Structure 1
Amino acid sequence: MSSKNYLLKWRNHPNSFMEVLDYLHAEELFIDVTLACDGDRFGAHKVVLCACSPYFQRLLAENPCKHPIILLKGVKSEEMKALVEFMYKGELCVGQRDLYSLLKTAESLQIRGLSEYSFSGADAAETIYDDVSASSDDVGTIRQVPLRRTLKKP
């Protein structure tokens, strides 16, 4: 006698899961790591940092503390705040003036989704907004940005 198997699926799991993580972060619930830089501190969840960055994954695996405090020298607090937001929400609005520095920091911290850019010190700035579509419903959405795109310092 064979038994049948049934696939039970939560249709909106990825969105619901991300909403709960964002809520837990916003309410500072179950925070288990602190990022310290530029005189500020940011609470986060180890699992989010590890999922979004091989750098944090290695660092936290090598130092299995209950609630580590990670000191990030040379990282601006505004950039760290923005990068933490990106890791929790998967998107970020950043001004052109701050873009190069933010992506450089993301590269050094190996933030997935942002660290796929290489940098060049040439004079002319190359925009990464080739694939931006705008409508009356949104300010702009980057549909797809090729990996390993060279950004030139403004």
Structure 2
Amino acid sequence: QQFCLRWNNHQPNFISVCSSLLHNGTLVDVTLAAEGRQLQAHKIVLSACSSYFQALFTTNPCQHPIVILKDVQYDDLKTMVDFMYYGEVNVSQEQLPHILKTAEMLKIKGLAEMP
């Protein structure tokens, strides 16, 4: 006989813990750079939410890579990272085309057109 053990608050807890780790800079293992500014994140979160990052980290294993994104604006990158950690972001109508372009470039699940 099998029993299903379920943690009803698993998803909200997981999101909360990941965002807290990001906010505190705890266990971060990748640095993203755009427009001369940097932000840190977790490879596992980026890989889970972006096939671009998953392929990058899989084919180029490195303990703490620094990823320089030349054609990405820093504010758009920050918005994409927030989207990957929280599952949603608020953007203005003016930002929307830039955000969607960045999402396509980084192959962000939930925003980019997937093949």
Structure-1 separation of matches of 2:99 and 2:8: 35
Unaligned runs of 5+ residues in structure 1 are: 118-154
Cα deviation code 1:43-87 (max 9, x no counterpart) = 000000000000100000011100000010011000001110000
CA distance in 2, matches of 1:109, 1:31: 19
From 17, 22, 42, the equivalent of 1:20 is 17
TM-score, normalising length from structure 2? 0.95
Equivalence for 2:83: 86
Deviation per CA, 1:107-152: give whole Å up to 9, x if none. Answer: 01101111139xxxxxxxxxxxxxxxxxxxxxxxxxxxxxxxxxxx
Q: How far, CA to CA, are the matches of 1:79 and 1:6 in structure 2?
A: 45
The superposition leaves residues 4-24 of structure 1 with CA deviations (integer Å, 9 ceiling, x where unpaired) of 433221111111111100110
Q: Report the counterpart of residue 44 of structure 2 in structure 1.
A: 47
The CA distance in 2 between the partners of 1:19 and 1:101, in whole Å, is: 27
- Within the alignment, does 1:66 sit opposite 2:93 as a pair? no
SS at match of 2:95: helix
**What does residue 112 of structure 2 align with?**
115
Q: How far has the Cα of 1:26 moved from its partner?
A: 0.6
Aligned partner of residue 41 in structure 1, secondary structure: strand
Tell me the equivalent position of 2:94. Answer: 97
Local SS of the residue matching 2:94: helix
- Cα distance in 2 between the residues matched to 1:71 and 1:60: 13
Question: May I ask how many residue pairs the two structures share in their alignment?
Answer: 114
Deviates more, 1:81-90 or 1:4-13: 4-13
Give the superposition deviation at 1:34: 0.5
Looking at structure 2, the residues matched to 107 and 5 of structure 1 have their Cα atoms a distance apart, in angstroms, of 42
Q: Which residue among 2, 6, 9 is the counterpart of 1:9?
A: 6
Identical positions, percent:
47
TM-score, normalised on structure 1?
0.71
Give the structure, 1 or 2, with the largest relative contact order (CA under 8 Å, sep 6 or more): 2
